[in-house]
Every structure is written in structure tokens, then in C-alpha cells.
Amino acid sequence: MLVEELNLNHNILKAIKALGYENATQIQEKCIPEIKNGKDVVGQSSTGSGKTAAFGLPLLEKIENGKGLQSLILTPTRELCVQVSDALFSFSKFTGARITSVYGGVAIGPQINALQRADVVIGTPGRILDHMERGTINFSKVKILVLDEADKMFEMGFIEDVERIIKHIPKERQTLLFSATLSTSIQQLVQRYLRHPVTVKAEVHVAKHLLKQRYYVVRNHEKFSLLVNLIKLNPNGLGIVFCGTRRGVDQVTRNLRGQAIKAMAIHGGLTQSKRMHALDNLKRESINILVATDVAARGLDIKNVAHVYNYDVPKTAEEYVHRVGRTARAGAEGDAITLLAEHDYENFNRILSDRSLTIRKEDLPAFEKIAFQKDSQGDREGSRGGFGGRGGGSFRGGSGSGRGRSSPSSQGSSYGGRGRREEEHRGPSFGRKKGSVFTRR
């Protein structure tokens, strides 16, 4: 569908056209008419589908400039908050709507001033609660509430805070909920807070013709050595290495740098400035490897990713799809490699249970064994013995394809004094000008 067929406000359409977009994505084509008609909407779609524009464009049409805060958008992470804000700012270029983002890890003073003039606020739950407690945010005129990445709100333990916020929003409102998955918990949330919602689902899939998916079975103490070998064999294009923990991210990053690989880390334990610095360096290609927890898996604005390395295997097929979905975008080819040690078998079995995924097993190449420094005290891994592809665990990959046969601040943290953090996971990826129009998430 062409953007003109969405019947958007001419100033919003002008902004979209100025960004170079021509066609709507599936989620946009289905959601925008329903939102324009005032319906509550539940949207399910994967990273890269354009969810930000799907709710952002019709939302902006309903805003009356200078009439107070009329829309609140809740996001689970700071990165997603910033990127949704940037997207809406671009979409509202010719409308004059005032867009404000509020999140932890930065000074709260400028946010207080901006909130007095805001028409639309994008915020993380913790910092929104901070403003509620200070009396610096007024929900009395809010008519549109958006819960973005609701499944991650649950996963990260924010849902009680979200519900506390919702109870202060006027009941006469339009509520929009977007989530990669629609679990029982999400469905219960929908029943409590949405009125006769329309459910919209866009296809979630991996582009098999563009994405090469493969895995290697490797001894745990040789996993890092194999990673270094693979990165050096594939020097062209940007790469993301996914680890399961913050500590793992820090260790792998430090060791990659020790091998003269330009790498930076991103996870929820870093300050906001360090996280944004890492993303900016990757975008400018000052580095070629980003080592991350799943903060980068859910739509962060990272273009031209050619390689995804699962250093630690995700727990579910859904998380796997979101990780590997960082590459093979906008018609480009991509490579997704999973490094599989014995302790990863259980998680990998769950991934292989998704029969839509085809992950080929590769023979181990010859590679140099490299000592892995586990911490700053110099505890090293690499000279010890280990285990191979056999032992206590097993997975149903066989020796051929991985098809799953029977044989994923100034106030301290974003929560001020609550001692909780806005963690790793998602944010919108926008800027895709090839293919469908608003590939902004």
C-alpha cells in the first residue's frame, strides 16, 4: 500500500515523504486505519516491521498542539524511549507537536521543564513514576496511552509499575498495546485495560533467502577462540555478538579488544552516555563489533549489520528470531552464527522446535587457541581441559540441518531510589528506506 492511501494528515504525509518513504508495511497498513477510527488496538509484530510508525502516525493526527499532555507512550528501555522519541519528532516535523522523552540516567531538571510544554511524552516506567511522585507530570488530558513492547515490560519486572501508572490515566482514553508475543499475561493485561480491542498480527519470519543460519558445536573453553576466528574471517560489515549476561558482555568485549578487534559493549548496567556512545560508534563504523545483551535484539537503530553471533544461546525461538533479525534487512544478505557448547543444548532444543527455522550445522574450522581472561584478576580460560559435543547434554540437531527432529543518572537508575534498573532489551530501528516505507522498528 502506498503512503498516500493511508489518508494521513497532509503535514504528516509531507514529513514521511521528506524522509523518502513510499510504501507502508503490513503492521502499518492494518493498524493505522483502526487507530484513526478510535479503536483500542493490540498489535503483534517482529523487529523491523515498523511498529513505531504504526501507532505514531495516527497518534500525531489526534494531537492538538499546546493543549497539554495528550498522549503517553511507555517503553521498557532508555534506548527505545530515545528512538521512539526521535521517530515521532521526525514524523511531526511539520505539525508543531511537542515531543518529550523522559528516562533515567540523565538529569531530571530539564525533563521537568520540558513536561510543562509537552503534547506527547515517551517515557520509561521508573522515570515516569519519579515525575508522578514529584508532581511534575499531569495526566488529566491524556487521551491516548501506548504500551510498547509489553512482553518485555513483563520480562523485566516492570508490569506492576506500568499498572500503577495506568491507574492514574483517565479511563476515557484510547489504549494501544504492542508486543512481539501475546502470552497469557499479556492477554490478561489486555482484558483489564483495553476496551473491545482489535488484534492485528503481522507476519513474523526470518528471510530464509537472505539470511544464512548456521551453528558450530564447540567445547566451552574454545568458544571464544572460535568467535575470534570467525570475526577475522568475516571482516566486512558490522557484527553483533550476543551474550547472556552483563558480565559476559564485559568479558568478551575486553578479550576481543585484546585481539585487536574494534569492539564495544552495551548492556543495562552501563550509564546512558556509555550505551549511546557505543551505538553511535557502531553507526559511524568506528567499531565493527557490538557486544550486547538482548538490549540490541529488539529493534535498536543499527543499520548494515552483516553478522550476528550468538555467543550464548537465547532461551526461546522468539528471542533467537529477534536476535538474528538484526541482519538480512532491506534486501541485504546476512549471516547468523550460533556457538553451541554443552550447556547450551537445552536452549537450542527449544529453538529447533520451531520448524520454520533452518539452521545448518557446520564443521569446525581449524583455529588458533586463544587464552580467555575471565576477569581483571587474570583468571584465564583456554588452557584447561573441557568437553566436546558429547557428554551430559544432547540436542536434536543431528549432523545435518538444525531442523529440530526427534533425534533463546542523576537519579541513579531509572527508578531513582528504588534500586531497580531499566534493563536490556529493545528500541525502535528506523531509517530503512529500501523496501517498505516505515521500517522503523
3-state SS track over 287-327: CCEEEECHHHCCCCCCCCEEEEEECCCCCCHHHHHHHHCCC
**Interval 14-31 mean pLDDT:** 91
Query: What is the share, in percent, of the chain residues with pLDDT greater than 90?
Result: 61
Give CA angle at 243 (322, 315), nearest 5°. 55
pLDDT at 206: 64
Domain map (residue ranges) of the chain: 3-201, 211-394
pLDDT at 294: 83
**Interval 327-356 mean pLDDT:** 91
CA 151 from chain centre, in angstroms, equals 11
Give the mean pLDDT of the chain: 84
pLDDT at 338 over 70: yes
Q: Are 159 and 139 in contact (CB under 8 A)?
A: no
pLDDT at 386 over 70: no
Percent of the chain as helix, strand, coil, to the nearest 5: 35, 20, 50
**Interval 286-294 mean pLDDT:** 91
pLDDT at 413 over 60: no
pLDDT at 376: 57
Q: What is the DSSP string of 377-437?
A: T--EESSS----S-SS---TT-SSEES------TTSBTTBTT-----S-------B-SSST
pLDDT at 419: 36
**Interval 56-84 mean pLDDT:** 95
Grid coordinates representing 384 are 584447561
- The amino acid that residue 201 corresponds to is K
pLDDT at 143: 98
pLDDT at 93 over 60: yes
More confident residue, 429 or 164: 164
Domains 3-201 and 211-394 share a fold: yes
Q: Are 339 and 367 in contact (CB under 8 A)?
A: no
pLDDT at 45: 79
pLDDT at 46 over 70: no
Q: Which class is domain 211-394?
A: alpha beta
More confident residue, 173 or 382: 173
Of the listed ranges 72-76, 208-212, 289-293, the least confidently predicted one is 208-212
**Interval 119-144 mean pLDDT:** 98
Of the listed ranges 173-187, 269-283, 417-431, the least confidently predicted one is 417-431
**Interval 39-43 mean pLDDT:** 97
pLDDT at 406: 32
C-alpha 260/C-alpha 380 separation (Å) is 18
**H helix count then E strand count, the chain:** 14, 17
CA distances from 104 to 24, 84, 235 (A): 33, 16, 36
Helix (H) or strand (E) holding 263: strand 263-266
Where residue 21 falls among pLDDT bands split at 50, 70, 90? Answer: confident
pLDDT at 410: 34
C-alpha 222/C-alpha 387 separation (Å) is 10
C-alpha 401/C-alpha 247 separation (Å) is 32
pLDDT at 384: 39
Q: Are 337 and 215 in contact (CB under 8 A)?
A: yes
Give per-residue pLDDT as tens, 202-248: 865 566 788 999 999 999 999 999 999 999 998 888 999 999 999 99
- Could you give the 3-state DSSP secondary structure of residue 372? strand
pLDDT at 284: 81
**Interval 117-136 mean pLDDT:** 97
**Interval 389-393 mean pLDDT:** 37
More confident residue, 152 or 212: 212
* pTM above threshold 0.75: no
pLDDT at 132: 98
pLDDT at 423: 39
Give per-residue pLDDT as tens, 161-209: 999 999 999 999 999 999 888 889 999 999 999 999 999 998 655 667 8
**Interval 280-303 mean pLDDT:** 79
pLDDT at 296: 61
Look at residues 237, 425, 240 and name the one whose alpha carbon lies nearest to residue 326.
240
Contacts of 280 (CB under 8 A, 6+ apart): none
Give per-residue pLDDT as tens, 311-337: 999 999 888 988 898 888 767 889 999
CATH number given to 3-201: 3.40.50.300
pLDDT at 111: 97
More confident residue, 441 or 218: 218
